[in-house]
C-alpha cells in the first residue's frame, strides 16, 4: 500500500510540473535569496513585444513601476520609477512540454511585490513566479534588520528590535508568539578570525561546559563560516534541556558569533527562521 501511495504522489507531482511548465513554484526562501532586489510597487505601464526564440516565439514584457517600498536592495528608494522585464512562452511545437516563463499577468494600477535580479540588461523577474499580489498577501514573512556592522533578514512577525544584553544583540520574537527560551543573538567575537584553533577551542568548550553533546559540525576552512550544533544534556539540577546552533563568521577581519538557542520542544518551530537569519547574515546566495 505504501508503494502505491508513493507512485500516486509521484504521478501527481509530474502532472503538476507539466501543467505549470516544469519549473516548480519558488518558496519564500528561494525568493529571498535568489533576488538581488525585492520591492513593493504599483504598475504604471506594461509594454509587450513578441520575439523569435529557438522553440518558436516568446512574449517579452517590460513593466514600469513606481516603487512604494524596498524590502531588499540598497540602490532603490520609495518614490522612484523602475523598469523590470519578464518573458512568457508564445508559439511552441505541438505536444511541447517545458518552461513557459512567468506565470500570471499584470495590469496598470496593480500593486505587486516583485522579486528581481539585477542584470547587465536591467532588472528581471525571477521565474516562474517572481511576483505576488499585495491584496492577497499584504506582508512578506521576512524583513531586513540592520545594525552597526551587520544586517540580516528576520521573521516579520518578530516585531521587537534587538535588545542589548552583555556584548551581543538579542533578537526576541514578539511576546505572546514565542516561548520564553528561543532566541537568536549576534555578538562580536574576535576568536572567529582565529584560524584553525577556533574549532578545537569550541569543541573543548562545548564538551566541557555542562557536558554538551555535539550534534553536527560543518565548514571551518579558511574564509568560510564554521557551524556547530550541540545539545546540553539533561542533568540533575539543570534548567530545561536546550539546543544551541552557533555560526562563527570572520568578515573583513571582524569576527562574529551568531547563536540560536532553543528548547528541544521549540526547536522545530524556529530552526528554519534561524537558518535564514544565519544565511542572510553571511550573504550567502
Name the one residue in this structure whose C-alpha cell is 566541557: 208
Strand segments, DSSP code E, in 126-278 are 131-133, 142-147, 150-155, 163-165, 168-171, 183-188, 213-219, 226-231, 242-251, 254-263
Can you give the pLDDT of all 285 residues of the chain as single tens digits?
444 444 444 444 444 444 445 689 999 999 999 999 999 999 999 999 999 999 999 999 999 999 999 999 999 999 999 999 999 999 999 998 888 999 988 999 999 999 999 999 999 999 999 999 999 999 999 999 888 778 899 988 887 677 665 556 667 665 555 555 788 888 888 888 876 688 888 888 888 776 788 999 998 887 788 999 998 765 666 566 788 999 999 888 889 999 998 888 888 888 999 999 999 998 876
Report the alpha-carbon distance of residue 285 to residue 283 in Å, rounded: 6
The single-letter DSSP state of residue 234 is -
Domain spans, the chain: 22-133, 142-281
CATH 3.40.50.360 correct for 142-281: no
Tell me which of 3.30.70.20, 1.20.1280.290, 2.40.50.120, 3.10.130.10 is the CATH number of domain 22-133: 2.40.50.120
Closest CA to 149 of 166, 162, 158, 140: 162
Amino acid at each position: 500500500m505504501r508503494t502505491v501511495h508513493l507512485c500516486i504522489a509521484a504521478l501527481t507531482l509530474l502532472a503538476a510540473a507539466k501543467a505549470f511548465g516544469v519549473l516548480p513554484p519558488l518558496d519564500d526562501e528561494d525568493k529571498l535569496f535568489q533576488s538581488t532586489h525585492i520591492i513593493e510597487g504599483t504598475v504604471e505601464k506594461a509594454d509587450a513585444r513578441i520575439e523569435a526564440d529557438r522553440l518558436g516565439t516568446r512574449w517579452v514584457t517590460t513593466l514600469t513601476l513606481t516603487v512604494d517600498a524596498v524590502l531588499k536592495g540598497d540602490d532603490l528608494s520609495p518614490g522612484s520609477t523602475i523598469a523590470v522585464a519578464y518573458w512568457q512562452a508564445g508559439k511552441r511545437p505541438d505536444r511541447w512540454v517545458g518552461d513557459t516563463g512567468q506565470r500570471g499577468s499584470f495590469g496598470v494600477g496593480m500593486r505587486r511585490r516583485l522579486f528581481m535580479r539585477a542584470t547587465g540588461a536591467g532588472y528581471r523577474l525571477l521565474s516562474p513566479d517572481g511576483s505576488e499580489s499585495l491584496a492577497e498577501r499584504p506582508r512578506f514573512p521576512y524583513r531586513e534588520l540592520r545594525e552597526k556592522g551587520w544586517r540580516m533578514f528576520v521573521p516579520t512577525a518578530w516585531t521587537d528590535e534587538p535588545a542589548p544584553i552583555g556584548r551581543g544583540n538579542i533578537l526576541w520574537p514578539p511576546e505572546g508568539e514565542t516561548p520564553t527560551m528561543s532566541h537568536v543573538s549576534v555578538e562580536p567575537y574576535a576568536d572567529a578570525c582565529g584560524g584553525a584553533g577556533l574549532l578545537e577551542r569550541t569543541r573543548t568548550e562545548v564538551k566541557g561546559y555542562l557536558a554538551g553533546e555535539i550534534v553536527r559540525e560543518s565548514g571551518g576552512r579558511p574564509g568560510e563560516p564554521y557551524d556547530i550544533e550541540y545539545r546540553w544534556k539533561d542533568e540533575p539540577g539543570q534548567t530545561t534541556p536546550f539546543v544551541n546552533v552557533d555560526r562563527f563568521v570572520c568578515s573583513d577581519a571582524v569576527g562574529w558569533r551568531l547563536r540560536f538557542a532553543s528548547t528541544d520542544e521549540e526547536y522545530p518551530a524556529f530552526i528554519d527562521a534561524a537558518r535564514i537569519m544565519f544565511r542572510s547574515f553571511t550573504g550567502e546566495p
